[in-house]
């Protein structure tokens, strides 16, 4: 009886997984042949972070609800810059005013997954803060910080307008990051992805947030390496 039930469950699981939409969360350009090591600059980090459930964070971190959004996002931006610098020691940065003036566009990863972001103009190379032209630019479009988020709900256009009530849980800290590796020489996107990283919640402190940001940087680097087209 026991193993019959197991077989039935497995069959149902197989059927369900067969029917569900298989998301493709990354997209590589055919010209993405090698992951960047140097000559890379980062853009958009200072405006990318968004805190979801800020009241909960305010309570847990002991910060006033009025200033939680600005304080935490500013801190996270600084941390992400630092973490990326650990992984790409010669990382430069693109001045945020150069990115701000660009229009927001959408980029398709999958039939249902579209990321929104700002992309440099075609035919115009971006300069970093010291006036040099970096070969690659890592454009961080958006980082959502929250608890128990799932990226489908934010990036699948068929689901983003869902207004069904969901039970707010807090088992994990979640960060969803969307970013693009930009070829600054030929002004094209080489690699784009939406990543989701999680960290179990024990007792939330700024240290946990810092670890989560570190995980984001690790995940970005891992995906950039894996996204190379053979």
Partner 1 sequence: MRKLLAILFFFVGLSCAGDVFFDSRYTLWKDGDILIWNVDKSITVDPKEFCLSLKRFNGGIGEPKCRILGEWERDSVSVHYANWLSYNMDPQSKPEYLKARHPAMVAKLQALEDKIVMFVSRSEGNVKVALFDETESKPKIAGVVQDNADQIALYDDLASTFFDKPTKRRLSKAERAKLASEPDEYYQEVPDFNGWIGVGLGYAQAKIPLTPDNWYRSHIDSKVRRYRITKDSTSLWNFIDDSEPFLSFYAGGTWYGFIGAELIYRVAKHNVKTDGKDTSYEELDHWDFYQHEIGLSIHLSKTFPIKSWLDISPYIFLGFQYSFFVEDIDVKDEVEKPSQAYEKRVEFEEVYKGALVGIGSQFVFAKHYGVNVKAGISSRGRDIYSDPSPDAAAEPTTIGGSTIDCFVSLGLEYHWVL
* Chain contacts with partner 1 (rule: CB under 8 A): 29-31, 103, 105, 119, 121-124, 186-188
- CB of 5 or CB of 124, closer to partner 1: 124
Question: Is the CB of 119 or the CB of 191 nearer to partner 1?
Answer: 119
In the complex with partner 1, the residue whose CB is nearer, 12 or 31, is 31
Count CB atoms within 10 A of the CB of residue 185. 12
Give the tokens for residue 198.
Answer: 């999680």
> Taking phi first (over 0 means left), then psi (-120 to 50 degrees means alpha), and beta for anything else, what does residue 119 get?
beta
Q: Compute the least distance from the CB of residue 24 to partner 1, in Å.
A: 16
Give min distance, CB of 124 to partner 1, in A. Answer: 6
| Beta carbon of residue 184, minimum distance to partner 1 (angstroms, whole number) | 12
- The smaller minimum CB distance to partner 1, of residues 6 and 31, is found at 31
Residue 30 CB, nearest approach to partner 1 (Å): 5
Cβ 160 to partner 1 shortest distance, Å: 23
Query: Which tokens in the block code for residue 55?
Result: 């009241």
Give the per-residue SS3 of the chain: CHHHHHHHHHHHHHHHHHHCCCCCCEEECCCCCCCCCCCEEEECHHHCEEECCHHHHHHHHCCCCCCHHHHHHHHHHHHHHHHHHHHCCCCEECCHHHHHCCCEEEEECCCCEEEEEECCCCCCCCCCCCCCCCCEEEEEEEEEEEECCCCHHHHECCCCCCCCCCCCCCCEEEEEEEEEEEECCCCEEEEEEEEEEEEECCCCCHHHHHHHHHHHHHHHHHHHHHCCCC
- Closer CB to partner 1, 108 or 222, in the complex: 108
Q: Closer to partner 1 at the Cβ: 64 or 122?
A: 122
Of 29 and 47, which CB lies nearer to partner 1 in the complex structure?
29
Min CB(10)–partner 1 separation in Å: 40
Minimum CB distance to partner 1, residue 115 (Å): 15
């Amino acid at each position: 009886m026991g193993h019959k039930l197991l077989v039935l469950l497995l069959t149902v699981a197989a059927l369900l997984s067969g029917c569900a939409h298989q998301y493709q969360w990354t997209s590589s350009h055919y010209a993405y042949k090698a992951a960047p090591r140097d000559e890379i600059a980062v853009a958009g980090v200072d405006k990318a972070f968004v805190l979801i459930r800020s009241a909960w964070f305010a309570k847990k971190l002991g910060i006033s609800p009025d200033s939680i959004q600005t304080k935490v996002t500013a801190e996270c931006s600084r941390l992400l810059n630092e973490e990326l610098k650990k992984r790409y020691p010669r990382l430069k940065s693109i001045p945020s005013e150069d990115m701000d003036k660009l229009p927001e566009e959408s980029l398709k990863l999958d039939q249902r997954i579209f990321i929104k972001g700002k992309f440099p103009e075609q035919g115009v190379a971006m300069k970093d803060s010291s006036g040099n032209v970096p070969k690659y630019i890592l454009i961080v479009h958006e980082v959502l910080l929250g608890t128990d988020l799932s990226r489908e709900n934010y990036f699948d256009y068929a689901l983003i307008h869902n207004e069904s009530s969901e039970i707010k849980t807090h088992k994990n800290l979640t960060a969803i990051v969307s970013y693009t590796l930009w070829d600054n020489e030929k002004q094209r996107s080489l690699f784009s992805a939406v990543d989701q990283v999680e960290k179990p919640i024990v007792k939330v402190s700024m240290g946990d947030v810092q670890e989560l940001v570190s995980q984001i940087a690790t995940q970005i680097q891992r995906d950039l390496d894996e996204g190379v087209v053979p």
